[in-house]
Amino acid sequence: MTNYKNVKYNFPAVTLSGATEGSPAEGDIWYDSGKFYLGTSQTFSGVWSSGGNLATARSNLAGAGTQSAGLCMGGYVSSSLNITEEYDGASWSSGGNLATARYDSAGAGTQTAGLCMGGYDGSFQNVTEEYDGTSWASGGNLATARNALAGAGTQTAGLCAGGNTGSVSNVTEEYNGTSWSSGGNLGTARRAVAGCGTQTAGLCMGGITGSSSNVTEEYDGTSWSAGGNLGTARNYLAGAGTQSAGLCMGGTTGSVSNVTEEYDGSSWSSGGNLATARYALAGAGTQTAGLCMGGDTGSSSNVTEEYDPGPGSYDELFTPSQGL
């Protein structure tokens, strides 16, 4: 297929007054609001590309932040880790260590206002820590100690759900920046789940009960309701984005998965596959600017990948200042 962005065109600058997305035919080029556009009628899956490797290869870590300002913490190699790393969109650098080394915790928030809760280090953890961009400080403990839970929201309005307490959990808790309180229980108790979204519009997907799950649930700040099922049931996957524009990637179905799926608030559709199949990885960012790092491929991974969308129903070519 021709990559129209790399083709040079010679044509007069014609303005199609009122031209909007989808109005020209495929292959038409038009000028509107100071930019040239190419009309297409096709849509494509997003694409993962290589990012900078983690300094410390590990699995079972937690993630937060964005594609250009990512955060990951904790994890496991041969023992629990307290390591934090910060991403600038190109490379990872060392951040302040967690006070409590652990793995299978959940993350939320941003690189400068992060949240890490739960986990495991020989016992189930109720520990919560808050990150200020430099160091971690103690937050309010979870009411229910657990690992392999899902996280979402912000440092001052956090959400966690599910996990493992020795058995699969349906417990949901909400954080106000100081303490956790009970939220509505998941409809399906499970562990090794992924989460994204906010405290009042959360998303929880996948996991394991007695077998890998395809269940998706949506949170409205009070209770969970059923969402569209994942196309591929799996556990130890990672999540990113929002309730109406979710992203999940990787995991295991008994074999390591490279599957990516995108959520539109009702149903999941196939996205572009990860270049490196893995499970117990961490996710961050959005559906159109996703980030995933670390995980287990059979051994601990330092791989980082960045997700960007395929072209939609139109593509910007260039502005006149860039030349024809």
What pTM did the predictor assign?
Answer: 0.84
- SS3 of residue 65 by DSSP: strand
Answer whether residue 1 shows pLDDT above 70.
Answer: no
Arithmetic mean of pLDDT over the chain: 89
Q: How far apart (Å, rounded) are the C-alpha atoms in residues 19 and 58? A: 50
What is the tens place of the pLDDT at every residue in 83-116? 999 999 999 999 999 999 999 999 999 999 999 9
Place 134 in a pLDDT band, splitting at 50, 70 and 90.
Answer: very high
Q: How far apart (Å, rounded) are the C-alpha atoms in residues 73 and 82? A: 7
Closest CA to 151 of 128, 133, 124: 128
Backbone angle region of 74, left / alpha / beta, with phi > 0 → left and psi within -120 to 50 → alpha: left
Place 4 in a pLDDT band, splitting at 50, 70 and 90.
Answer: very low
- Specify the pLDDT at position 309: 83
- Specify the pLDDT at position 7: 42
Task: Identify the sign of the CA torsion 155, 156, 157, 158.
Answer: positive
Q: How far apart (Å, rounded) are the C-alpha atoms in residues 184 and 102? A: 26
- For the segment(s) 47-308, the CATH number from 2.120.10.80, 3.30.420.10, 1.10.1740.10, 2.40.50.100 is 2.120.10.80
- What is the pLDDT averaged over residues 72-82? 98
Place 21 in a pLDDT band, splitting at 50, 70 and 90.
Answer: very low
Domain ranges of the chain: 4-44+311-322, 47-308
Identify the bridge partners of residue 173 per DSSP, sorted by sequence position: 160, 182
